Amino acid sequence: MFQNILIAEDQNTINKGVERTLNELDIPNIVTAQYCDDALLKLKAALQVNQPFNLLITDLSFKADHRERTLTSGEALIKAVKTIQPNLKIIVFSVEHRIGKIKSLIDTYDINAYVEKGREESIELKKAIHTILKDEMYCSHSIEQLLRNVDDISQTDQYDELLLQLLAKGLKREQIANYFKEKDYPARSLSSIEKRINKLKVLFDAHTSEQLVAIAIDRGLI
């Protein structure tokens, strides 16, 4: 079983709750951090005294407050962690359900588990820990299903993604075409932009461009 676990989570109450869950697993050393920057400091300090943490459980979103922050998100924290302690096991514990974001976390940072916050989260957290101990990847049931039919997402290339972002930012078709022309991107004519949007609507089964934007946001493409 893991000996030293760090929890990075801004919500005070959740920290207490996760601690209690971990207590049930007889983890001797549980440390919490309410800011990503603090979490990184604690990881570094533990490394220096040669008592590194074995597991990081981190949220993705951390509220801003009066304090100045360098790392503002769980993703930034994970990225930083990978440079100082690449083999640290990581469980992401978040409400995030946009499958695109989750998939990119898994692909980019090779995280060891994704647990979606919800009714059965304590049980899932325990399952995740047991699964990681066997060097396997764990994913919440609800997320697992979504991950299976995520393939269609890769069909949207970076230009499509940019296009969706520009749509969400309030640019009209012609303005988008001009933007693409300025940047010298391919398929920059108004006609092509229209075709792209149409292709995306078919792909995402959207009736209107408003819905297209909504779906893109929901899937974490924006």
The contact set with DNA (CB under 7 A) reads: 172-174, 186-192, 194-195, 197-198, 201, 208-209
| 133 and 6 Cβ atoms separated by less than 8 Å | no
Coil vs helix vs strand at 70: coil
Q: Which does 187 bind (CB under 5 to 8 A by kind): its own copies, DNA, none?
A: DNA
Distance CA 115, CA 139 (A): 6
Nearer to its own copies, 85 or 156 (CB): 156
Nearer to DNA, 144 or 174 (CB): 174
Its sign, for the CA torsion 199, 201, 204, 205, is negative
Q: Which does 214 bind (CB under 5 to 8 A by kind): its own copies, DNA, none?
A: its own copies
Distance CA 38, CA 36 (A): 5
- List contacts with its own copies (CB under 8 A): 10-18, 20-21, 34, 63, 65, 117-123, 125, 167-172, 206-214, 217-218, 222
Q: Which does 18 bind (CB under 5 to 8 A by kind): its own copies, DNA, none?
A: its own copies
Nearer to DNA, 25 or 206 (CB): 206
Sheet strands (E) in the chain: 4-8, 29-33, 55-58, 89-94, 113-116, 138-139
